[in-house]
Structure 1
Amino acid sequence: MDFRIAPSSVPLASPAVAAARAAATQARPEVGGASEGGFGSALKGALESVSAAQNQAGSLQREVQMENPKVSLEQTMVAIQKAQIGFQATMHVRNRMVQAYTDIMNMQV
Protein backbone atom coordinates (compact mmCIF):
# COMPACT_ATOMS: atom_id res chain seq x y z
CA MET A 1 0.00 0.00 0.00
CA ASP A 2 1.47 3.35 -1.01
CA PHE A 3 0.54 6.47 0.92
CA ARG A 4 1.71 9.73 -0.53
CA ILE A 5 1.10 13.23 0.71
CA ALA A 6 0.53 15.87 -1.93
CA PRO A 7 2.99 18.78 -1.74
CA SER A 8 1.58 21.78 0.03
CA SER A 9 1.57 25.23 -1.47
CA VAL A 10 1.49 26.76 2.02
CA PRO A 11 4.86 28.22 3.06
CA LEU A 12 6.62 26.27 5.79
CA ALA A 13 7.05 27.77 9.23
CA SER A 14 10.60 26.76 10.00
CA PRO A 15 13.74 27.04 7.91
CA ALA A 16 14.77 23.53 8.95
CA VAL A 17 11.67 21.95 7.49
CA ALA A 18 11.95 24.04 4.33
CA ALA A 19 15.58 23.04 3.84
CA ALA A 20 14.83 19.38 4.50
CA ARG A 21 11.99 19.40 1.97
CA ALA A 22 14.12 21.18 -0.64
CA ALA A 23 17.00 18.76 -0.13
CA ALA A 24 14.65 15.77 -0.25
CA THR A 25 13.13 16.85 -3.56
CA GLN A 26 16.57 17.46 -5.06
CA ALA A 27 17.98 14.15 -3.84
CA ARG A 28 15.42 11.84 -5.45
CA PRO A 29 16.88 8.69 -6.94
CA GLU A 30 17.33 8.59 -10.67
CA VAL A 31 15.92 5.75 -12.70
CA GLY A 32 18.52 2.97 -12.65
CA GLY A 33 20.97 5.00 -10.56
CA ALA A 34 21.75 5.58 -6.94
CA SER A 35 20.41 8.55 -5.06
CA GLU A 36 22.84 11.39 -4.56
CA GLY A 37 22.91 12.58 -0.99
CA GLY A 38 19.69 11.17 0.37
CA PHE A 39 18.76 11.53 4.01
CA GLY A 40 22.24 12.56 5.13
CA SER A 41 22.41 15.53 2.81
CA ALA A 42 18.85 16.53 3.68
CA LEU A 43 19.69 16.47 7.37
CA LYS A 44 22.93 18.38 6.81
CA GLY A 45 21.09 21.03 4.79
CA ALA A 46 18.45 21.38 7.49
CA LEU A 47 21.09 21.78 10.20
CA GLU A 48 22.91 24.40 8.16
CA SER A 49 19.66 26.28 7.65
CA VAL A 50 18.90 26.27 11.38
CA SER A 51 22.45 27.40 12.12
CA ALA A 52 22.15 30.25 9.60
CA ALA A 53 18.83 31.34 11.14
CA GLN A 54 20.41 31.37 14.61
CA ASN A 55 23.41 33.35 13.37
CA GLN A 56 21.13 35.88 11.68
CA ALA A 57 19.03 36.26 14.83
CA GLY A 58 22.18 36.76 16.91
CA SER A 59 23.54 39.43 14.59
CA LEU A 60 20.20 41.25 14.51
CA GLN A 61 20.06 41.08 18.30
CA ARG A 62 23.54 42.64 18.55
CA GLU A 63 22.52 45.39 16.13
CA VAL A 64 19.44 46.21 18.23
CA GLN A 65 21.57 46.29 21.38
CA MET A 66 23.93 48.73 19.65
CA GLU A 67 20.88 50.85 18.77
CA ASN A 68 21.30 50.60 15.01
CA PRO A 69 18.39 52.60 13.53
CA LYS A 70 18.28 50.39 10.42
CA VAL A 71 17.27 47.28 12.41
CA SER A 72 13.83 47.17 13.96
CA LEU A 73 12.95 45.38 17.16
CA GLU A 74 10.04 43.63 15.40
CA GLN A 75 12.32 42.25 12.70
CA THR A 76 14.72 41.00 15.37
CA MET A 77 11.99 39.32 17.41
CA VAL A 78 10.64 37.53 14.31
CA ALA A 79 14.14 36.28 13.44
CA ILE A 80 14.64 35.04 17.02
CA GLN A 81 11.31 33.21 16.96
CA LYS A 82 12.13 31.60 13.58
CA ALA A 83 15.47 30.42 14.94
CA GLN A 84 13.82 29.06 18.07
CA ILE A 85 11.18 27.14 16.07
CA GLY A 86 13.85 25.71 13.79
CA PHE A 87 15.94 24.63 16.78
CA GLN A 88 12.93 22.98 18.43
CA ALA A 89 12.11 21.12 15.21
CA THR A 90 15.72 19.96 15.00
CA MET A 91 15.60 18.71 18.58
CA HIS A 92 12.41 16.78 17.86
CA VAL A 93 14.02 15.12 14.83
CA ARG A 94 17.09 14.25 16.89
CA ASN A 95 14.97 12.75 19.66
CA ARG A 96 13.01 10.68 17.14
CA MET A 97 16.22 9.41 15.55
CA VAL A 98 17.67 8.44 18.93
CA GLN A 99 14.43 6.67 19.84
CA ALA A 100 14.40 4.79 16.51
CA TYR A 101 18.03 3.76 17.03
CA THR A 102 17.24 2.55 20.55
CA ASP A 103 14.23 0.60 19.29
CA ILE A 104 16.30 -1.08 16.58
CA MET A 105 19.11 -1.93 19.00
CA ASN A 106 16.61 -3.50 21.41
CA MET A 107 15.08 -5.77 18.74
CA GLN A 108 15.79 -9.43 19.18
CA VAL A 109 17.35 -11.19 16.25
Structure 2
Amino acid sequence: EITTVKATEGQVELIKGEAERTMQEMIKAKKSFDVVICDPPKLAPKRADLERAMRKYKQINTLAMQLVNPKGGLLLTCTCSAAMTQSGKFESVVQSAAKAAGRDVTIVSKSGA
Protein backbone atom coordinates (compact mmCIF):
# COMPACT_ATOMS: atom_id res chain seq x y z
CA GLU A 1 0.00 0.00 0.00
CA ILE A 2 1.23 3.50 -0.76
CA THR A 3 0.26 6.88 0.59
CA THR A 4 1.84 10.01 -0.84
CA VAL A 5 1.59 13.53 0.49
CA LYS A 6 2.15 16.47 -1.82
CA ALA A 7 2.31 19.76 0.07
CA THR A 8 2.35 23.00 -1.91
CA GLU A 9 1.44 26.31 -0.34
CA GLY A 10 -0.46 24.64 2.47
CA GLN A 11 -2.27 22.09 0.29
CA VAL A 12 -1.85 18.37 0.82
CA GLU A 13 -2.80 15.66 -1.65
CA LEU A 14 -3.05 12.07 -0.40
CA ILE A 15 -2.82 9.22 -2.90
CA LYS A 16 -3.49 5.73 -1.60
CA GLY A 17 -3.25 2.42 -3.44
CA GLU A 18 -1.28 -0.78 -4.01
CA ALA A 19 2.34 0.41 -3.88
CA GLU A 20 3.94 -0.96 -7.04
CA ARG A 21 0.95 -0.42 -9.33
CA THR A 22 0.34 3.08 -7.98
CA MET A 23 4.01 4.07 -8.31
CA GLN A 24 4.09 2.74 -11.89
CA GLU A 25 0.98 4.78 -12.74
CA MET A 26 2.50 7.93 -11.20
CA ILE A 27 5.78 7.40 -13.10
CA LYS A 28 3.83 6.94 -16.33
CA ALA A 29 1.97 10.20 -15.56
CA LYS A 30 5.37 11.92 -15.05
CA LYS A 31 4.63 12.80 -11.42
CA SER A 32 7.48 13.63 -9.08
CA PHE A 33 7.75 14.60 -5.44
CA ASP A 34 10.31 16.41 -3.33
CA VAL A 35 10.00 13.77 -0.61
CA VAL A 36 9.15 10.09 -1.06
CA ILE A 37 8.83 7.74 1.91
CA CYS A 38 9.24 4.05 1.18
CA ASP A 39 8.38 1.82 4.15
CA PRO A 40 7.39 -1.64 2.88
CA PRO A 41 6.40 -4.50 5.19
CA LYS A 42 8.95 -7.03 6.40
CA LEU A 43 10.00 -8.94 3.28
CA ALA A 44 12.69 -11.13 4.85
CA PRO A 45 11.35 -12.53 8.12
CA LYS A 46 14.21 -15.04 8.09
CA ARG A 47 17.55 -15.45 6.31
CA ALA A 48 16.07 -18.03 3.92
CA ASP A 49 13.92 -15.22 2.46
CA LEU A 50 16.87 -12.90 1.88
CA GLU A 51 17.42 -13.34 -1.88
CA ARG A 52 13.74 -12.94 -2.74
CA ALA A 53 13.47 -9.96 -0.41
CA MET A 54 16.51 -8.29 -1.99
CA ARG A 55 14.89 -8.50 -5.44
CA LYS A 56 11.62 -7.06 -4.09
CA TYR A 57 13.32 -4.24 -2.13
CA LYS A 58 15.28 -3.33 -5.27
CA GLN A 59 12.12 -3.26 -7.36
CA ILE A 60 10.23 -1.12 -4.85
CA ASN A 61 13.12 1.30 -4.30
CA THR A 62 13.77 1.65 -8.04
CA LEU A 63 10.16 2.76 -8.50
CA ALA A 64 10.31 5.08 -5.48
CA MET A 65 13.50 6.73 -6.76
CA GLN A 66 11.86 7.44 -10.10
CA LEU A 67 9.23 9.46 -8.21
CA VAL A 68 11.79 11.70 -6.49
CA ASN A 69 12.09 15.09 -8.17
CA PRO A 70 15.01 14.68 -10.61
CA LYS A 71 16.23 18.21 -9.76
CA GLY A 72 16.74 17.11 -6.17
CA GLY A 73 14.69 15.52 -3.48
CA LEU A 74 14.72 13.08 -0.61
CA LEU A 75 13.93 9.39 -0.48
CA LEU A 76 13.46 8.00 3.00
CA THR A 77 13.58 4.24 2.58
CA CYS A 78 13.19 1.63 5.27
CA THR A 79 13.42 -2.04 6.01
CA CYS A 80 12.21 -3.75 9.14
CA SER A 81 13.85 -7.02 8.09
CA ALA A 82 16.73 -7.73 10.45
CA ALA A 83 18.11 -10.22 7.92
CA MET A 84 18.63 -7.29 5.50
CA THR A 85 20.29 -4.93 7.95
CA GLN A 86 22.38 -7.46 9.87
CA SER A 87 23.80 -8.83 6.63
CA GLY A 88 24.58 -5.33 5.34
CA LYS A 89 22.58 -6.06 2.18
CA PHE A 90 20.11 -3.18 2.36
CA GLU A 91 22.61 -0.46 1.46
CA SER A 92 23.79 -2.42 -1.59
CA VAL A 93 20.16 -2.96 -2.64
CA VAL A 94 19.56 0.81 -2.43
CA GLN A 95 22.69 1.50 -4.52
CA SER A 96 21.60 -1.11 -7.07
CA ALA A 97 18.11 0.43 -7.24
CA ALA A 98 19.66 3.86 -7.84
CA LYS A 99 21.63 2.49 -10.77
CA ALA A 100 18.50 0.83 -12.19
CA ALA A 101 16.56 4.09 -11.79
CA GLY A 102 19.35 6.13 -13.37
CA ARG A 103 19.73 8.25 -10.24
CA ASP A 104 22.68 9.42 -8.19
CA VAL A 105 22.19 8.92 -4.48
CA THR A 106 23.92 10.00 -1.33
CA ILE A 107 23.11 8.09 1.82
CA VAL A 108 22.64 10.86 4.35
CA SER A 109 21.91 8.76 7.41
CA LYS A 110 21.39 5.20 8.57
CA SER A 111 19.60 4.34 11.78
CA GLY A 112 17.97 1.42 13.50
CA ALA A 113 15.22 0.77 15.94
TM-score above 0.5 = no
Larger radius of gyration: 1
Would you tell me which structure has more helix in proportion to its own residues? Answer: 1
TM-score computed with the length of structure 1 as normaliser: 0.31
TM-score using structure 2 length: 0.30
Q: Which has the higher contact order (CA 8 A, sep 6+)?
A: 1
